Chains A and B, each alone.
Chain A
C-alpha cells in the first residue's frame, strides 16, 4: 500500500502522475498549467496539482520515480558528442552545459521541491516507463508492448513482455537508428517544428502521392527480421538538433521548405512537399508494421500495447490493427514523454509491492470549477448563468450551427480533447469546419478535425469502430459515407472518438440525436500553438480572445 509520484521532465512534455495503492489517481502535463507548449521544465505545478487531486502531502509519498536514467542519458550524450568531434564541438559544449548544469541533478531538484529525502527519489529506464504505461493501462491481458520514440537513454525502440516486477525487455534497437528521429527530420525538412509538427506531417501526407518512396527508402531501410536502420549520414542531430537532418538528406530529397511560408497545395512546390510527406508516412507505417510482426513472432502475444511518441501516429496504428497479426491494439493516450511519468509511477508502485488496478480513464487532470468560472466571467462583464439542462440547450445551439466550447470534469491526459476540454460543432457542414479552422483555431487549412460518436452508432458511420483505440482517438477509421465532410479527412478517414455511456459527451450526443445528428466535430479547446486548456480561467481567456459562440463549464453557460 504505497503512494508513488512519477515524473518526466527536461526534454519535452514534462508531466507528473500519482499512483496510490496501485490505482492511478491523477496525471497532469505541465504545459496545461504553465501555458508553455511542450513545457520541458521540472513540472512543479503538475506535481502540486497531482498531490492536491490525490489529497496527499508530499511527506506522505513513499517513492518519487523519475522516468529515465539521468546517468545513462549523460553517457549517451557524451559518447555521441565524441563521435561527432570535432564538427560537433559546439553541440558538445551546449549539451554538457545543459546536462551538468541542470539535467544531471533532476533527482535532487525533485527532492528539494517536494521536501523529501533524496533517498526516496529514484529512477527507472525511459522505455520501460513507456512500456509499463502501455501494458498496465491496456484493457486486455496476453499482450506485448512495443515502445517507439526518438531516443530514451540509448534505445529508440523496444519490445517488452509483461513480468511481475514490470515489463521485461525482449529486444531493442539503439539510437541513432530511430523512427522518431526519422520522422522528426522530415517534420523539420517540411518547415514544421520538431516535437510539435509531427501531427501536421501526418495530416499533410493524405494530400500527397507517395512518389518519393525510392528516395525515402534510402533513408530508412526495414530488414527481414522487422528491425530497421537509418542512413545516419543523412541525419545531423549533433550539429543541428533543432532540425535533425543534414546536407545529404537535402541532396537526396531536394531543397527543404521554408518554415514561415503559407501553404498552397495547388502550387507545384507544395505538392512536392505533400508527396514527400506521403512517402515518409508510408515508410514509417511499413517500419511500424514490421516491428509489430516481429513483436508477435517473438512473444506469440495476441494483443499489442503501444507507447512512445511514434505511437501517436494514428494512421500507422490503424494499419497495425488492420494488417498486423494482433487481435487487439491499444495505445496509452499520452504516448509521448509525458506518459513516461505515468509508467514511472506504475513501476514504482510495483516495486513497493502493490498490485496495479488496470482500470484506466484518461480524465486524470485538474477539475473544472463552475463557481469560479461564473465569478470570473461576471467580473469580465460576460453573461454567466446556471442552466438546468446544458446538454439539451447546447444541442439546440449546435443544431443551429453554433461553435460551442465545452468544459466538463477533470481535464484530459494526452494530446487529444476527449470531451473534457473541447470545441464542438456540427460535423456535416464544411463551412463550420473552415470557420473553426481559420477564425477560432487559426491553423493550417489542411489539418483535419475529428468526429465524436456514441459507441452504438460508431459501426454504422466508421469501419472498424469502436475498437480499443477509438475512445482516446489514437487511430483512424474509414468513414462509411460522406455524411460528415467537416470531420472526414481528404483520404476518407477520420480520427474518430467513440464514447461509452460514462463518457463526458454521452449526454450531449444523445441530445444531438433529437436533432438528427449522430456525430459531432470535436477538437481541442485551444488555438494553434497553444497547450490544451486545463483550468476554467484559461477556458475563459480562450473564449474572450477567440470568440466561440458559447462556453459551458458544467452547468454554467457563458455568453457575451
Chain B
C-alpha cells in the first residue's frame, strides 16, 4: 500500500509539471514492473524487461 502513495505522488508530479511526454514511457515501465510483481518474475516477462533495461 505504501508504494501506491509513491506512485500517486510520482504521477501527480509529472502532471503538475506538465511533462506529459513522459507518461507513455512511465506507463510502459510501470506495466513491466507490475507484470514482474504479479508473475513473481516469470521467465516469459524477462525478454521485455531486458529490452527495456
Give the B-binding residues of A (Cβ under 8 A): 69, 71-72, 74-75, 78, 93, 96-97, 100, 104-105, 107-108, 111-112, 118-119
1/0 per residue B23-53: CB within 8 Å of A?
0010001000100000000000000000011
B10: contacting residue among A93, A104, A118, A119, CB under 8 A: A104
- When the two chains form their complex, are residues A100 and B2 in contact, meaning their CB atoms are under 8 A apart? no
List of A residues within 8 angstroms of B17 by Cβ:
75
- B53 surroundings in chain A (CB, below 8 A): 93, 96-97
Give CA–CA (A110, B24) in the complex, Å.
29
For the complex, give the distance between the alpha carbons of A331 and B6 in Å: 34
A78 touching B25 in the complex, CB below 8 Å, given contacts A93-B53, A96-B53, A108-B3: yes
Most chain B CB neighbours (cut-off 10 Å) among A69, A71, A74, A107: A71
Pairwise interchain contact A105-B13, C-beta atoms closer than 8 A: no
> What are 6 residue pairs bridging A and B, where the CB atoms are less than 8 Å apart in the complex?
A69-B13, A71-B9, A75-B13, A78-B22, A100-B33, A107-B5
With the chains together, A102 CA to B10 CA distance in Å? Answer: 14
Whether the pair B29, A100 counts as a contact (CB closer than 8 A) is: yes
Q: Count residues of B near A (Cβ-Cβ below 8 Å).
A: 17
Of all A-B residue pairs in the complex, the 8 with the closest CB atoms, nearest first, are A71-B13, A118-B2, A108-B2, A97-B53, A118-B5, A93-B53, A71-B10, A108-B3
Known: A71-B14, A107-B6. 17 other contacts (CB 8 A): A69-B13, A71-B13, A74-B10, A75-B14, A78-B22, A93-B53, A96-B29, A96-B53, A100-B29, A100-B33, A104-B10, A105-B6, A107-B5, A108-B3, A108-B6, A111-B2, A118-B5
Give chain B nearest CB distance to A183 CB in angstroms. Answer: 30
B19:A75 contact, CB within 8 angstroms: yes
Question: Which chain B residue shows the least CB distance to A97?
Answer: B53
* A75→B16 CA distance, assembly (Å): 12
| CB closest chain-B residue, reference A108 | B2
How many pairs, one residue from A and one from B, have CB atoms within 8 Å of each other in the complex? 38
Q: Which residues of A contact B6 (CB under 8 A)?
A: 104-105, 107-108, 118
Chain B residue numbers with a CB within 8 Å of A71 are: 9-10, 13-14
CB-CB nearest in chain A for B1: A118
Tell me the bound Cα distance from A141 to B52 in angstroms.
52
Shortest distance from the beta carbon of A339 to any chain B beta carbon, whole Å: 25
**Which B residues are CB-close (under 8 A) to A69?**
13
Known: A93-B53, A96-B53. A72 touches B5 (CB 8 A): no
CB closest chain-B residue, reference A74: B10
Which residues on the A side are within 8 Å of B1 (C-beta)? Answer: 118
Complex CA gap A402/B52 in Å reads: 60
Instruction: Tell me the complex Cα distance, A111–B4, Å.
Output: 13
**Smallest beta-carbon distance B23→chain A, Å:** 12
B33 to chain A minimum Cβ distance, whole angstroms, is 7
Residues of B within 8 A of A72 (CB): 13
Identity of the chain B residue whose Cβ is nearest the Cβ of A122 in the assembled complex: B9
Q: In the docked arrangement, what's the CA distance between A72 and B2, Å?
A: 19
Contact flag A112-B13 (CB < 8 Å), given A78-B22, A96-B53: no
**Chain B residues positioned under 8 Å from A112 (CB to CB):** 2
B13 to chain A, nearest CB (A): 4
Q: What's the nearest-Cβ distance from chain B to residue A507, in Å?
A: 50
Q: How many Å from the CB of A64 to the closest CB on chain B?
A: 13
Across the interface, which residues of A come within 8 angstroms of B10, CB to CB?
Answer: 71, 74, 104
* A75 and B3 contact, Cβ closer than 8 Å, known pairs A93-B53, A100-B29, A100-B33: no
Tell me which residues across on chain B come within 8 A of A74, comparing CB atoms.
10
On whether the beta carbons of A105 and B29 are closer than 8 Å, the reply is no
What are the residues of chain B within 8 A of A108 when measuring CB–CB? 2-3, 5-6
A105 to B1, CA, bound (A): 12
* Chain A residues positioned under 8 Å from B2 (CB to CB): 108, 111-112, 118
| Nearest A residue to B10, CB-CB | A71
Query: In the complex, what residue of chain B is closest to A93 when comparing beta carbons?
Result: B53
Across the interface, which residues of A come within 8 angstroms of B25, CB to CB? 78
- Shortest beta-carbon distance from B49 to chain A in Å: 10
Complexed CA–CA distance, A504 and B21 (Å): 56
- Docked Cα-Cα span, A107 to B7, in Å, equals 11
Tell me the complex Cα distance, A119–B1, Å.
11
Minimum CB distance partner of B29 in chain A: A100
CA gap between A118 and B53 in the complex, in Å:
28
Q: In the complex, A119→B19 CA distance in Å?
A: 25
Distance, CA A118 to CA B9, complexed state (A) = 12
Closest to A98 in B: B53
Once A72-B13, A75-B13, A96-B53 are accepted as A-B contacts, the answer to whether A105 and B22 lie under 8 Å apart by CB is no
* Chain A hits for B52, CB < 8 A: 93
- Taking CB as reference atom, which chain B residue is nearest A72? B13
Contacts of A119 in B (CB 8 A): 5
Q: Chain A contacts of B33 at CB under 8 A?
A: 100
Complex contact B3–A105 (CB within 8 A): yes
